[in-house]
């Protein structure tokens, strides 16, 4: 389908990758709730879910969309696919979508430097939204973090605390790093130069330029992030708590619908929500 014809669609044809996982199932529900067409559902080869109707998988009844094991079989049916899988799987999916001319919304985290370069390369061929977190609240929080960082400047210590369920395999979370990058950027620092990911033993006095990260894993915590601006005599905390995966899924579906008809480029949720041009006062 041409880019112009995609743009005229009132309902995007959306494929969900990793359809059998916790996030994949929520994405299927979110696509249906938003009134878009679930065009494909893909699960890893060998999964017992292959062949299952995607609607029955999530309690929506029969949708006539069988779960398949190969994206290449169904990519031509999609205007855009949503991928919350794993770095290696996402890398394979990017190659298929680039060849087929299919747009992508990617929420996978934990990419290697080489895989991050592949993101950039793929976005030169097809429109691609990449974000570590698709929650509307988190992306509003990023603007608040920029404001706080620019206002406090070097007068406070900055710490990022995050907590997730016991099954999450990367740490710190992509969202925590995204928050750290927002703060560092507002302070004209490079996160790679100032991030501190662990403290143990005799660490000496805290460097005011550093941005600390603390990671918690346990139970079924969906996602909690707190950025603390700690001064003398006061502390400001900007906190986001996620209680359901549906807020991430709804944001990703919103991004997929927005992406239809866009030119090849690497976008993020700040673009989707039109926050890129929102002005932040400076001191």
- The domain total for the chain is 2
**Looking at residue 148, which CATH number applies to its domain?**
3.30.360.10
Let me know if residue 199 belongs to a domain. yes
DSSP 3-state assignment of 163? strand
Read off the pLDDT of residues 268-277 as tens digits, 9 standing for 90 and up.
998 998 887 6
**Do 129 and 161 belong to one domain?**
no
143 catalytically annotated = no
Read off the pLDDT of residues 111-144 as tens digits, 9 standing for 90 and up.
999 999 999 999 999 999 999 889 989 999 999 9
What is the DSSP code (8-state) at residue 20?
Answer: T
**Do 130 and 142 belong to one domain?**
no
Choose the catalytic residue: 36, 164, 225, 240: 164
Q: Do residues 174 and 184 lie in contact, with contact meaning Cβ atoms separated by under 8 Å?
A: no
* Distance (Å, whole) CA 216 – CA 245: 18
Read off the pLDDT of residues 156-170 as tens digits, 9 standing for 90 and up.
999 999 999 999 988
pLDDT at 183 over 60: yes
Q: Do residues 157 and 133 lie in contact, with contact meaning Cβ atoms separated by under 8 Å?
A: no
Let me know if residue 59 belongs to a domain. yes
E strand segments, 175-268: 195-196, 211-217, 223-230, 235-242, 266-267
Q: Which domain holds residue 199?
A: 136-242
116 catalytically annotated = no
* Distance (Å, whole) CA 34 – CA 27: 10
pLDDT of residue 110: 86
Pairing of strands 223-230, 157-164: antiparallel
The secondary element (H helix, E strand) that includes residue 183 is helix 174-186
């Amino acid at each position: 389908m041409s880019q112009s014809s995609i743009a005229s669609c009132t309902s995007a044809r959306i494929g969900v990758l990793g359809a059998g996982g916790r996030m994949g199932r929520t994405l299927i529900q979110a696509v249906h709730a938003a009134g878009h067409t679930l065009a494909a559902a893909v699960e890893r080869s060998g999964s017992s879910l292959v062949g299952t109707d995607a609607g029955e998988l999530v309690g929506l009844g029969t949708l006539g969309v069988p779960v398949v094991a190969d994206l290449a079989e169904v990519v031509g049916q999609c205007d855009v696919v949503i991928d919350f899988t794993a770095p290696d799987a996402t890398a394979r999916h990017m190659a298929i979508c680039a060849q087929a001319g299919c747009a992508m919304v990617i929420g996978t985290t934990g990419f290697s430097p080489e895989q991050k370069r592949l993101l950039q390369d793929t976005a030169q061929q097809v429109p691609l939204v990449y974000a570590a977190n698709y929650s509307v609240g988190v992306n509003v929080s990023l603007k608040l973090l920029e404001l706080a960082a620019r206002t406090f400047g070097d007068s406070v210590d900055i710490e990022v605390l995050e907590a997730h369920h016991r099954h999450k395999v990367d740490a710190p979370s992509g969202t925590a790093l995204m928050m750290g990058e927002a703060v560092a950027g507002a302070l004209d620092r490079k996160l790679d130069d100032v991030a501190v990911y662990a403290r143990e033993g005799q660490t000496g006095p805290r460097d005011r330029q550093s941005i600390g990260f603390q990671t918690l894993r346990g139970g079924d915590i969906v996602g909690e992030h707190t950025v603390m601006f700690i001064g003398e005599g006061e502390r400001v905390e900007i906190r986001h708590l996620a209680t359901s995966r549906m807020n991430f899924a709804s944001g990703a579906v919103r991004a997929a619908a927005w992406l239809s008809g866009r030119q090849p480029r690497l976008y993020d949720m700040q673009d989707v929500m039109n926050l890129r041009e929102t002005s932040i006062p400076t001191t």
